[in-house]
Amino acid sequence: MEEGLVTIITPCYNGEEYLEKYFESIINQTYNNIELIIVNDGSTDNTEEILEQYENKLEKRGFIYKHLKQENSGQAVAVNMALPNITGEFLYWMDCDDYLEFNGIERLVTFLQNNKSYNIVRGKVRILKDNKKIRIGQPKKGESEYIFENYIFGINTYCFPGTFMIRMEEFDKKIKNRIIYCTRAGQNWQLLLPILYKQKCGFVNSIVYNYNIIANSHSRIKTATFEEELKRIDSHIDILYNVLEPMKIWEIYQEDINLLYDRRRIKAGLQYDKYEYILDILNNEKKQYMKYKENSKYWLLKNKIFYNLYRKVKVK
């Protein structure tokens, strides 16, 4: 690994509309020691031509540029293609339809260079829709530096790919052979959770990244049916299992994860008027509670909101 070198990896699928802003935000970074690995994930537009056009610009800037290709297989597969090619001391990953703040890389690197006890750091993110700022993503007031469980349960925190930087030395300790679990549901948990477990995550109090909310993008396609939403929920549990089980901690979190996703299934059921489905979940939770009375977390009905929902659904 080259000291001080930051490797940026980006999966890219049909990104022609956004690539100019993406590339220019990298070229205009205040940090000068960058390796860019971009994987064309079987794009069918003019992505490939644009990726080739930027080779000279990046090399003139003094950056290392590695342009890889694969048949369309999803972001996680693309990340796995990129990981063995990393030569940098630090890892950073971002989407091709987003862009960096001009000094984002420098701010993250500076933190890790000045704080050797930290192996991961994050910064603020500007969230945009139609190129207009919606809000700023940042830690909640009083949020601990230990954010592993926050990321599992999606509470009191924020998660965007371009906000994190990791030391590759630690990455190689935690993710053997540089291979993450592959699924089309994403790659952030696979990259983050092994590093965050029992470790502090540093924070840079500056915007480092700009996140575009774009319908039907590579990583933000929304579900259209009840069945697709259930499939998406199952895919999230699948990722968590395949990340936590090798870490030998799945059993610690399994019950709470199942409860969390039962609630998300209920939310989906309400959205699509699937009342019998909801009642099945609530009845199962009630049975679990009766079996394990000493542990009330098993029963969704302990929550007043869900109790009223249970009564409502039963009379449908």
pLDDT in tens, 280-297: 888 887 777 677 665 656
Residue 40 clears pLDDT 90, i.e. is over it: yes
Instruction: Verify that 254 and 204 share a domain, yes or no.
Output: no
Mean pLDDT within 26-52: 97
Instruction: Verify that 170 and 241 share a domain, yes or no.
Output: no
Q: How many domains does the chain have?
A: 2
Instruction: Verify that 147 and 271 share a domain, yes or no.
Output: no
**Which pLDDT score, from 0 to 100, does residue 287 have?**
76
**Residues 168 and 86 sit within 8 Å (Cβ to Cβ):** yes
Residue 34 clears pLDDT 70, i.e. is over it: yes
pLDDT per position as a tens digit, 188-225: 999 999 999 999 999 999 999 999 987 655 445 555 79
In a domain, 220, yes or no: no
Residue 17 clears pLDDT 60, i.e. is over it: yes
Using CA atoms, how far apart are residues 186 and 19, in angstroms rounded to an integer?
20
Residue owning tokens 């700022």 = 133
**What b-and-e string marks burial along 219-254, b requiring 16 or more CB atoms within 10 Å of the CB?**
beeeeeebeebbeebeebbebbebbbeeeebeeebe
Instruction: Verify that 61 and 190 share a domain, yes or no.
Output: yes
Instruction: Verify that 209 and 297 share a domain, yes or no.
Output: no
Confidence of residue 315 (pLDDT cuts 50, 70, 90): low
Q: Give the residues across from 313 on adjacent strands.
A: none
Kindly report the pTM of this predicted structure: 0.89
In a domain, 287, yes or no: yes
Using CA atoms, how far apart are residues 162 and 115, in angstroms rounded to an integer?
20
**Which pLDDT score, from 0 to 100, does residue 200 have?**
97
Residue that is last in its domain, among 168, 190, 213? 213
pLDDT per position as a tens digit, 94-113: 999 999 999 999 999 999 99
DSSP H or E run through 134: strand 132-137
Mean pLDDT within 23-32: 98
- Tell me the residue range of the domain where 246 lies: 226-314
pLDDT per position as a tens digit, 120-167: 999 999 999 877 889 998 888 888 999 999 999 887 777 788 999 999
In a domain, 192, yes or no: yes
* Residue 152: exposure state from Cβ atoms within 10 A (0-12, 13-18, ≥19): buried
Residue type at 138 in one-letter notation: Q
Helix (H, G, I), strand (E, B) or coil at 74: coil
pLDDT per position as a tens digit, 238-290: 999 999 999 999 999 998 898 889 889 988 998 999 988 988 888 887 777 67
In a domain, 218, yes or no: no
Residue that is last in its domain, among 213, 241, 259? 213
Residue 298 clears pLDDT 70, i.e. is over it: no
Closest by alpha carbon to 212, among 96, 43, 40, 42? 96
Using CA atoms, how far apart are residues 261 and 256, in angstroms rounded to an integer?
9
Instruction: Verify that 93 and 154 share a domain, yes or no.
Output: yes
Residue that is last in its domain, among 213, 246, 264? 213
* Alpha helical stretches, state H, the chain: 19-27, 47-53, 55-60, 75-82, 104-114, 148-153, 168-174, 188-196, 226-244, 250-271, 275-291, 304-314
In a domain, 307, yes or no: yes
Instruction: Verify that 56 and 200 share a domain, yes or no.
Output: yes
**Which pLDDT score, from 0 to 100, does residue 178 have?**
95
Instruction: Verify that 243 and 139 share a domain, yes or no.
Output: no
**Which pLDDT score, from 0 to 100, does residue 218 have?**
47
In a domain, 221, yes or no: no
Instruction: Verify that 232 and 184 share a domain, yes or no.
Output: no
DSSP H or E run through 121: strand 120-129
Instruction: Verify that 36 and 170 share a domain, yes or no.
Output: yes
Q: Give the residues across from 213 on adjacent strands.
A: 129
Query: DSSP letter string over 4-49?
Result: EEEEEEEEESS-TTTHHHHHHHHHT-S---EEEEEEEES--SSHHH
In a domain, 219, yes or no: no
Residue owning tokens 């192996």 = 119
Instruction: Verify that 92 and 231 share a domain, yes or no.
Output: no
**Which pLDDT score, from 0 to 100, does residue 139 have?**
87
Residue 311 clears pLDDT 80, i.e. is over it: no
Bridge pairing between strands 164-167 and 120-129: antiparallel
Tell me the C-alpha to C-alpha distance, in Å, between residue 247 and each of 176, 178, 194, 269, 280.
11, 15, 8, 33, 32
* Residue 99: exposure state from Cβ atoms within 10 A (0-12, 13-18, ≥19): buried
Tell me the C-alpha to C-alpha distance, in Å, between residue 226 and each of 162, 217, 268, 271.
30, 20, 7, 8
